[in-house]
């Protein structure tokens, strides 16, 4: 919307006033969330009404707050609360949509959550020089010269440079993270360097856990890694997580939303994803391929039927174990119920040692390049 645009949070609407008689009177409803293709998710997203009408009198007198810069409207509803979706559906698209404005933009947030802003405020402040506006709880009439409602999304945790004004890529988004958390006083929060490659193992809880975690840690230490176990905690400041991962050479974990943290790893470092039975496509699509685009050295460890806890529940000839694709074709909920919510893993130590050896070789080469 370009021209004299008024935000009326009480009416959940934006009104474009025009002095031209040719301006059509129109109304359109938009849900400012990126997953337009996913009806079950979009059904939960709050709607925003856009109107255009002819101005009568001096409409600037209606404004409580007059802005000289454009606004971008997005929501922290939908799947917000899941780390993957917070980045894939929200922060990366926010960068794509706003970066060309170089901070001269006001963000208007529908379904505003204080916890979200406390968590991601450092990133948001890299993209906007102005306070955010809480759409539904700000009773003032805000006026803008231009308003964009909704965000552009390209691919899974990725940026298509051919669609960007200056050919930006996911590396440029990561530079925003660097700037957001570039604080010399926090460098001590990173992992200490002892000469050994530093490995962070993400410890899941609930499902898809390592059943032989202690043995895996011992194996990794025997291979020459300095191992840190990290259990994601929503109360931990993102900048502390960033410094932990930014200072490590290897990140390893079982497929899940926490793998999104590969974005905090330095390009050239190593990312090892342990892939449970029945999750290969999702693991590669959502994390493996995006990690490669960021320049990480990606390794995967595919769980075999005998390494999955599902082998304790199903006979060795059951389709669940022998042909997961058959189950996956039945639909998302069947796949989620079996392979995501009720599966743990116990990697074979001899097999895992080979993967860790590759990770160590690549990590040492990365360290040498960094040393210069």
How many residues does the structure list for the chain?
Answer: 372
CB within 8 Å of 355: residues ≥ 6 apart: 272, 299, 301
d(CA 197, CA 313): 38
State the pTM of this model: 0.94
Measured CA to CA, the distance from residue 114 to residue 121 in angstroms comes to 10
Rounded-to-integer distance, Cα 138 and Cα 268, Å: 45
Instruction: Decide: helix, strand or coil at residue 80.
Output: coil
Render each residue's pLDDT in the chain as its tens digit; 372 residues.
999 999 999 999 999 998 887 778 899 999 999 999 999 999 999 999 999 998 887 877 789 999 999 999 999 999 999 999 999 999 999 999 999 999 999 999 999 999 999 999 999 999 999 999 999 999 999 999 999 999 999 999 999 999 999 999 999 999 999 999 987 555 555 677 778 999 999 999 999 999 999 999 999 999 999 999 999 888 888 999 999 999 999 999 999 999 999 999 999 999 999 999 999 999 999 999 999 999 999 999 999 999 999 999 999 999 999 999 999 999 999 999 999 999 999 999 999 999 999 999 999 999 999 886
Place of tokens 């009806």: 39
Token readout for 111 is 């379904």
The DSSP element (H or E) to which 358 belongs, if any, is helix 349-371
């Amino acid at each position: 919307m370009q021209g004299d645009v008024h935000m009326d949070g009480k009416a959940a609407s934006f009104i474009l006033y025009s002095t031209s008689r040719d301006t059509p009177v129109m109304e359109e409803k938009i849900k400012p969330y990126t997953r337009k293709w996913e009806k079950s998710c979009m059904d939960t997203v709050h709607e925003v009404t856009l109107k255009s009408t002819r101005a009568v009198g001096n409409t600037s007198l209606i404004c409580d707050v007059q802005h000289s810069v454009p606004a971008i409207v997005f929501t922290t509803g939908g799947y917000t609360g899941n780390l993957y979706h917070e980045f894939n559906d929200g922060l990366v698209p926010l960068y794509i949509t706003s970066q060309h404005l170089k901070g001269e933009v006001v963000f208007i947030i529908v379904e505003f959550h204080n916890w979200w802003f406390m968590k991601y405020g450092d990133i948001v402040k890299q993209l906007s020089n102005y306070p955010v506006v809480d759409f539904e709880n700000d009773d003032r009439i805000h006026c803008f010269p231009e308003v964009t409602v909704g965000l552009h999304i390209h691919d899974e945790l990725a940026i298509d440079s051919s669609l960007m004004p200056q050919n930006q890529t996911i590396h440029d988004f990561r530079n925003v993270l660097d700037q957001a958390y570039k604080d010399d006083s926090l460098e001590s929060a990173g992992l200490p360097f002892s000469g050994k490659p530093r490995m962070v193992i993400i410890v899941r809880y609930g499902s898809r856990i390592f059943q032989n975690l202690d043995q895996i840690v011992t194996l990794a230490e025997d291979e020459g890694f300095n191992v840190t176990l990290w259990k994601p905690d929503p109360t931990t400041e993102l900048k502390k997580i960033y410094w932990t991962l930014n200072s490590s050479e290897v990140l390893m974990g079982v497929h899940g939303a926490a793998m999104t943290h590969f974005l905090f790893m330095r390009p050239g470092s190593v990312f090892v994803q342990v892939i449970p039975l029945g999750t290969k496509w999702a693991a590669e699509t959502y994390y493996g391929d995006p990690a490669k685009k960021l320049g990480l050295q990606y390794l995967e460890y595919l769980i075999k039927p005998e390494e999955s806890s599902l082998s304790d529940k199903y006979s060795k000839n059951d389709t669940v174990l022998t042909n997961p694709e058959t189950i996956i074709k039945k639909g998302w909920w069947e796949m989620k119920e079996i392979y995501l919510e009720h599966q743990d893993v116990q990697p074979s130590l001899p097999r895992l040692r080979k993967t860790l050896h590759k990770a160590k070789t690549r990590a040492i080469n990365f360290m040498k390049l960094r040393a210069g």
